[in-house]
Structure 1
Amino acid sequence: MDTRDSLRHQGMRKRLVEAIRIKGVRDERVLNAIQKVPRHLFMDSSFIQFAYKDQAFPIGAGQTISQPFTVAFQSQLLDVQPSDKVLEVGTGSGYQAAVLVEMGAQVYTIERQRELYMKVQQLLPDLGYHPKFFFGDGYKGLPTYGPFDKIIITAGAPVIPQDLLTQLRVGGVLVAPIGPTEKQVMYKVTRISEEEYEKEKHGTFVFVPMLKGTVN
């Protein structure tokens, strides 16, 4: 695999970061991570010209690599602190996981599409990123590894999965796009106590749907 990251790529990323900043992302830790992660290496080489446009792009298995602004926006809402234990539901291309690792998080990432799971298990370590990979149903989370400081869902879910809420530590934050397949509302959910959760809405987005079960 060609893992080159040229000065041209780095310059394109710098422009991308400025575009994201203009759109309202202010967390410098997030912007620095976007600046560092070579997004072009998460895409097919024939689509390299799209790597640093602020748009989503298909990656196979009916999934997409998320729009950089969306990755930055979710990461900012998550308020990742160094050494936070973060559960990512929907590994996809691995780009969001790489951004979270770059921010200093301990990332546990789960993917239901075997094709993507196998691909990203090789790609991320090749690029120097070492989250913990799991093949399984994101709706169920990873109960044996919880509780988590932060949970991020990278696909549109009809409701917030109850299993994930219970895997969030008190004081922890879950960020997820919730709603029908056409568009979702971005929720930030903070666990106030064992029984209480505070929910905030942060605009509408369009994600691929979060599916149940696993694909062999």
Structure 2
Amino acid sequence: MYVQEDTYRHKGMRKGLVRILQEKGITQPQVLQAILKIPRHVFFDNALVEHAYQDKAFPIGEGQTISQPYTVAFQTELLHVRPGDKVLEIGTGSGYQSCVLLELGAEVFTIEYNQVLYERTRKFLPMMGYQPHFFHGDGSKGLPAHAPYDKIIVTAGAPTVPSDLLGQLKEGGVLVIPVGNNTTQKMFRITRLADKKLLKEEFDNFSFVPLLGDKGWGKSAK
């Protein structure tokens, strides 16, 4: 799966992708720089490299997708990641979002429900030079053993906001999560304030694969 070369052509394609993201409203320089740096084509088979720098999601097997670059950039902007932030990612998937968070200087804890994807990505990302903390398990319940977190990002559509995740946020911490049905979800940013109060902000609609697990859609999408 790993494509070692990153040619001038690939870099030129990434610049084109960054221009598209800017046109769609992505403005944070650090996020754009991360997208510009990460060779997204290495997540694709050689025959599919043309798809790597299009602004669209793409299947990666196991009923999952590598997220649309705009979606990755949008969620990442909402998080406002700062160097040194302890970030929990729910849904490792291909690992592309983990790479973006690592490029922003975060310490990343990422958990994947699917055993096949977990094993594949756990081996693959270090080959690229990216080393988050990998976990296999039910991300809908968070990762309490390493809580609390500065930021939590959920990369699958949840039926509701899992209370476990809110409880694992530091005061001042931020959760970004898409909530809705199996077809479309509304993006939310929830900030944990003092005295356990929550600030809930609502953004655009997106379409994610379902969040699996006890606090998601169960063991498989309904």
Same fold (TM over 0.5): yes
CA distance in 2, matches of 1:212, 1:183: 18
Q: Deviations over 1:131-188 (max 9, x none)?
A: 0000000111110101000000000000011101000000010001001111000000
> Is 1:126 aligned to 2:107, yes or no?
no
Distance in 1, matches of 2:212 and 2:150, equals 24
1:165 equivalent to 2:166? Answer: yes
Q: Determine the C-alpha separation between the residues in 2 that align with 1:188 and 1:107.
A: 19
Alignment partners' CA distance in 2, 1:14 and 1:3? 19
What's the CA shift for 1:43?
A: 1.7
Aligned counterparts, 1:23-102, within 5 A: 23-102=24-103
Tell me the CA shift for residue 194 of structure 1: 4.2
In the alignment, what sits opposite 2:189? Answer: 188
Q: Deviations over 1:86-138 (max 9, x none)?
A: 00000000000000001110000000101100010111100010100000001
Q: Say which SS state the counterpart of residue 144 (structure 1) adopts.
A: helix
1:112 & 1:43 partners in 2: Cα distance?
A: 21
**Aligned residue type for 1:99:** V
Distance 2:93 2:161 in 1: 19
Shift of 1:45: 2.1
Structure 1 unaligned residues grouped into runs of 5+: none
Shift of 1:44: 2.2
For residue 161 of structure 2, give the secondary structure of its aligned residue in structure 1. Answer: coil
Aligned letter for 1:103?
L
Distance 1:170 1:204, change over 3 A: same
**CA offset at residue 195 of structure 1?**
2.0
Q: Aligned partners of 1:30 and 1:45: how far apart in 2? A: 26
State the TM-score, normalized to the length of structure 1: 0.97
2:151 is matched with 150
Which amino acid in 2 is paired with 1:102?
E
Query: SS of the counterpart of 1:120?
Result: helix
Residue 139 of structure 1 is matched in structure 2 by: 140
Give the RMSD, CA atoms, in angstroms: 1.2
Q: TM-score, normalised by structure 2?
A: 0.95
Q: Secondary structure at 1:199's aligned position in 2? A: strand
Residue 7 of structure 1 aligns with an amino acid whose one-letter code is Y
Letter of the aligned partner of 2:211 in structure 1?
A: M
User: Match of 1:72, as an amino acid?
Assistant: A
CA distance in 2, matches of 1:155, 1:172: 20
2:9 match: 8
* Corresponding pairs, count: 215
